[in-house]
Amino acid sequence: MKGENVSSGLWGKVIDLEPDFAMVHTALWAAYLQRPEFRKVLTEVPEESVTDESTVNLAALAGSYAVVGKRHEAERALARLDALSRTRYVCAYEMGTAHAILGNKDQAIACLRKAFQAHSACLADLKTDRRWDGLRADRRFRELLDRLGFPK
């Protein structure tokens, strides 16, 4: 990631080849969370460019908006995800990351519990995923880490 941006390097090549590859968008916004100089890119994602076909992309958009302080837009994307979750699978873990960044602790924990019940593969990253940093001191978060068997 060092020295790369969205338009060049590996990330750009992957997006050029497969613009709808959901996991790339999720990986990008998680990486950008670590690099403040990239937050400008997150503000430039047009919401209308993300369709309801990829709920992971929509969750990444919600998280991107949350990171850059676009609360209203993040909540609107989360509302779309919530509506979609009534008729098909939506990754509760990814939804929860946006809630966590927005400071919606109860909703974030509810999403994590739902991800746990669904045996989400994303939970493997829970201990190190920086998007959850705002919840690490929460007793409910620590209890979930224990239930998942993460070492202390």
Q: What is the CATH number of the domain that holds 138?
A: 1.25.40
More confident position, 51 or 62: 62
More confident position, 92 or 60: 92
Q: Is 2 contained in some domain?
A: no
Q: Is 152 contained in some domain?
A: no
Q: Is 95 contained in some domain?
A: yes
pLDDT tens string 112-127: 999 999 999 889 989 9
Contact predicate 125/119, CB 8 Å: no
pLDDT exceeds 70 at position 40: no
Question: Which of the residue ranges 31-35, 99-103, 136-140 would you say has the lowest mean pLDDT?
Answer: 31-35
- Average confidence (pLDDT) over 4-16: 56
Contact predicate 85/107, CB 8 Å: no
Q: What's the one-letter identity of residue 81?
A: L
- Average confidence (pLDDT) over 96-125: 94
If one counts the domains in the chain, the total is 1
b/e per residue 87-122 (b: at least 16 CB within 10 A): eeebbbbbbbbbbbbbebeebbbbbbebbbeeebeb
Q: Is 72 contained in some domain?
A: yes
Which range marks the domain in which residue 38 is found? Answer: 9-147
Q: What are the structure tokens assigned to 56, written together?
A: 């992971």
